[in-house]
Amino acid sequence: MHSWSPFFDEIPVDPYIRDGYRYKSIAWFRMKHAMAAPIKAIDEHISMVNQLSGMSDAQSNRYLSTGLPAWQSDETGYRCWNLPQYALQQSIRYNPVHGDMRREYPRISNNITDSPDFHKLLACYAAFFGWSDAIVLVQFQRVDCFTNRIGLPAVEGFHQDGNRHVGMLVVNRTNLTDDSGVSQYVLDDQGKKTDDLVFNSVIPAGQLIFWNDKRVWHYGTELKVADGSVNGGRGTRDIIILSAKTPPANMPIGPVPEPFRKAI
């Protein structure tokens, strides 16, 4: 995991955050167990978005369950398809800040996504929840802060993302106060947030956590610099977020942006 740390320095600033404290790159995958039947709605959804992206049938078919996977985990039985660089869209129901907005992000470095450690992370994530077939969005995300500016890990406040199974791996915490970036969770009550915290802790670097997004609401408290004389007065937290999308939950993904279509 430490070998991934330098790649966070290369992630560009998120253009959809006005104050410039977030950096983001993403990649899309499909994880399906070798013994499971494909979910027809996933094939249909990928095919539809591929068509909107201007792909031919031959190009699009490479990313369906009938196409050859990019790799397979013999340990878990999961197969993986590396999907195109789709745009990111969420419903405003789940994201009041960026909901119903098409967002375009660069792809996570192939040096990471082609590595055995990354394959193990995806396979572990799929096997933990044991789903049969899902589209997986992976986000590499840095949030920084300075002595004169905090960083906000969750601009939406307490929220859900409309997925079911979510994972978060904390890669680095650099020059942050001990009470910065506290992960907080409350239970869901028929689509509404409850008040009592069921988890309230700083997740240390190197720890991976999973949660059921239908059962809880989550939030991360602001980031503050621990020592203004260190690291240029900057603090950072680097995380990897994994979210599995299965019909009918939060399936919208946008067509491949023009700058990334040459890679199809």
Nearest to 113 by CA among 84, 93, 92, 156: 84
- Cα separation, 32 vs 68, whole angstroms: 12
CA separation, residue 53 to residues 47, 70, 193 (Å): 10, 21, 37
Q: Does some domain include residue 62?
A: yes
Based on the number of CB atoms within 10 Å of its own CB, is 191 exposed (0-12), middle (13-18) or buried (19 or more)?
exposed
Look at residue 111 and tell me if it is in a domain: yes
Report the chain's terminal Cα–Cα distance, integer Å: 28
In terms of Cα–Cα distance, which of 217, 249, 58, 31 is closest to 138? Answer: 31
- Per-residue model confidence as pLDDT tens digits over 184-240: 999 999 989 999 999 999 999 999 999 999 899 999 999 999 999 999 999 999 999
Calpha distance 199→207 (Å, rounded) = 15
Percent of the residues in the chain that have a pLDDT greater than 90, as a whole number: 78
Inside any domain, residue 204: yes
Whether pLDDT at 183 is above 90:
yes
- Domain presence at residue 24: yes
> Residue 18 belongs to what domain range?
2-256
- For the residues of 206-222, what is the DSSP string, one character each? T-EEEEETTTEEEEEPP
pLDDT recorded at residue 2: 58
Q: Could you give the CA distance from residue 212 to residue 240 in angstroms, rounded to a whole number?
A: 17
Flag whether 261 is in a domain: no
When comparing pLDDT for 251 and 229, which is higher?
A: 229
Q: In the chain, how many domains are there?
A: 1
What CATH number does residue 143 fall under? 2.60.120.620
Q: What number is the average pLDDT over the span 34-46?
A: 96
Domain annotation covers residue 264: no
More confident residue, 91 or 212: 212
| 93-117: average pLDDT | 78
pLDDT tier at 99 (50, 70, 90 boundaries)? very low
262 falls within a domain: no
Does the residue 185 lie in any domain? Answer: yes
